[in-house]
Amino acid sequence: MTDTPTLQFWFEFGSNYSYLSVMRIEALAKAAGVRVQWRPFLLGPIFKELGWSTSPFVLQKEKGEYAWKDVARQASKYGLPFRRPSVFPRVALLPLRVAVLGSDSDWMVPFCERVMLQNWRDDLEINEEVNVLAALEGLVDDPRAVLAAALTDENKRRLRENTEQARARGIFGAPSFFVGDELFWGNDRLEDALAFARQAHAS
């Protein structure tokens, strides 16, 4: 048993509910004494395997309209800015590759928060190089070097492997949280997942 309870956090920049969790999880986890393992992955290939051509919030109009109202309510509740993006779901391949590269780096969390704000507050195209570089600015010594490293074949493979692992573990949406083999799905289960991590560690 490790000294600190651990929670795996699986997220996607194009996911509206992932936005809410990305912006909240570190403060909540710190207060709970839980260590977060950030796991960026691609939802698109998983949706495709499930037989969906895009997000269910697009495929099911009523569900989608509810989700937009719900995310706006939740963002207000948490004190987070929110603007419905003009494109949904947004392609997020490039920033996800950068996030995978930085998984064990101090800059990874603030980078992810900046990308989320670009998408869900500023309505920017987060897959464009200029915006990824802006999200890295001030967090790393050389943003262009980080971007180049993110585009290597080895790092591209890491994102594919993360996505394959997510599918193999039964993930069907984002955000998802794992405590051991126990899956929690959705932003509204974040607190439950953290509590379970603490309980599981204590037992």
> Which domains are delineated in the chain?
6-202 (3.40.30.10)
CA trace torsion 72, 12, 40, 110 (10° rounding):
-40
Rounded Cα distance between 17 and 64, Å, is 12
Q: What is the mean pLDDT of the chain?
A: 95
Kind of pairing, strands 182-185 and 176-179?
antiparallel
Residues facing 39 on adjacent strands: 10
pLDDT of residue 8: 98
Using DSSP's 3-state secondary structure scheme, residue 177 falls into strand
pLDDT of residue 59: 86
Encode pLDDT of 160-183 as tens digits.
999 999 999 999 999 999 999 999
pTM for the model = 0.95
pLDDT(1) > 80 = no
Q: Label residue 2 by pLDDT band (50, 70, 90).
A: low
Encode pLDDT of 118-158 as tens digits.
999 999 999 999 999 999 999 999 999 999 999 999 999 99
- Mean pLDDT for 46-74 is 90
Nearest CA-CA partner of 197 in 1, 5, 4: 5
